[in-house]
Amino acid sequence: MNKILLIIKREYLTRVRKKSFLIMSVVGPLLMAAIIILPAYFAKLESGQKVIGIVDETNYFKYKFTSDESVKFIALDPDIVQAKKELINKGLYAILYIPMTKNVLPTYAYLYSTKEPNIIIKGRIKSVMQKEIVGWILQEKKVDPGIIKELQQKITLAPIKINDAGEEEKSMVELKMGIGYVLALVIYMFIFIFGAQVMRGVIEEKTNRIVEIIISSVKPFQLMMGKIIGVALVGLTQFVIWIASMAIILSLFFSIFSGDIEQYKNQKLKIQDEQLVLQNPDIAAGGDFNKTVAVLTDAIDAINFSGIALAFLIYFLGGYLLYSSLFAAIGAAVDNETDTQQFMLPITVPLIVGVISAQFVMNNPDGPLSFWLSMFPFTSPVVMMVRIPFGVPLWQVFLSVALLIGGFIFTTWLAARIYRTGILMYGKKPSYRDLWKWIHW
């Protein structure tokens, strides 16, 4: 046991001191956070008012656009040729040209600019024009605009799940799908990344003939287990760092939307006539957005993040231990990384099947396909993480974990049989027949 601990310590310290570990554990999450936060931050910091000139031959929209601190609309001479010259001379951001058409009101316009126009500004211009055209048509047809406003009411759907105990749980399918799929992909990537590290480490020691010296003091099985557990601890360390990074990102999210969340919490929800209603249906400015934040907040509060984190830890460790033993066996069987390709396919196919099936599992997490894939040890680490956020009966979780542990024991036994022979085999490219002989030898 002491020898295994020494190998674990060596494998762990060797890897956590590498620059690649630092980059992947710290810089990687920070870059992902930067990709999300920095564009919004710089957009917020963007200063200067964009001036857009309007050439309206219909004289209907010229004064319908409202200026603010970010965009200023000014009316120009109706001569579009002269206006194009002013685009450069006066340093305008863009020129909106609304031509006269055969129709009473135009259904298209042109936006001239020296640079690619901002998509938000384009949407704003289209929105104003559409609103004015609709208003004009309603006026001509003598239709009350209030009727149209009532018909355009947005619906905020707040799903409520009733569990076996009859208790109500607020949920959001999209949020659960996102959490499950992201965690499944993380497990998929971690298994490949750290499993490949085990395989490369074995190949390197075998190629350098260092392994011949090592196994003179320890048994091949002890060496294999020390490598597997040592790299697993590296993965757990990285997992903790990633969790801390996600906590920072979530704290930033809640700090940004703290006003909307606090406003919602002051508007308590209650159940009346088996329907979810708000005490005050007219929440302050931006009500639709606040209602969306409200539903999202309820859904986040209803998710058992501690249970999901525990399940992630179990399935990450179980899946890694199961696959890394096979990666170690492949590394022991070959002399270089090129020769591993022929043996990688049977190992990678189940994981890929699990990721591909994730979409079907999310659509029907309680279906027979989802059940059996979450029970099969080679796909359960990925598929079960997709199902966990939706709620899985405990007996299925326990059965899946038990089968995963059983699969790990079997693959470890299988890998040990290959490892003890293959680690000292040189100069011959092994075949599947050779592996079969080593298992039975």
Residue 296 binned pLDDT confidence (cut-offs 50, 70, 90): low
Give 301: exposed, middle or buried? Use CB within 10 Å, 0-12, 13-18, 19+. exposed
From the list 100, 99, 106, 118, the residue with the least C-alpha distance to 51 is 118
**Mean pLDDT score of the chain, rounded to an integer?**
75
Of 24, 354, 337, the C-alpha closest to 194 is 24
Least trusted range by pLDDT, from 222-231, 293-302, 399-408, 430-439: 293-302
pLDDT at 13: 85
pLDDT at 271: 33
pLDDT of residue 426: 72
- CATH number for the region 50-146 comes to 3.40.190.10
> Between 249 and 170, where is the model more confident?
249
- Which residues neighbour 90 within 8 Å (Cβ) at sequence distance 6 or greater? 51, 53
pLDDT at 183 over 60: yes
Looking at residue 261, its pLDDT comes to 47
Beta bridge partners of 71: 50
Query: Residue 280: is its pLDDT beyond 60?
Result: no
Measuring CA to CA, which residue among 186, 184, 167 is closest to residue 365? 184
Indicate the pLDDT class of residue 17, thresholds 50, 70 and 90.
confident
Cβ–Cβ contacts within 10 Å for residue 97, how many?
A: 19
pLDDT of residue 272: 36
pLDDT of residue 164: 64
**Percent of the chain topping pLDDT 70:** 76
Domains in the chain: boundaries: 50-146, 173-440
pLDDT tops 70 at residue 112: yes
State the Cα torsion 4-235-317-177 to the nearest 10°: 180
What's the mean pLDDT in 411-425? 79
| pLDDT-derived band at 278, boundaries 50, 70, 90 | very low
Q: For 115-119, 196-200, 390-394, which range has the lowest pLDDT when averaged over its residues?
A: 115-119
Question: pLDDT digit string (tens) for 254-269?
Answer: 666 555 445 444 443 3
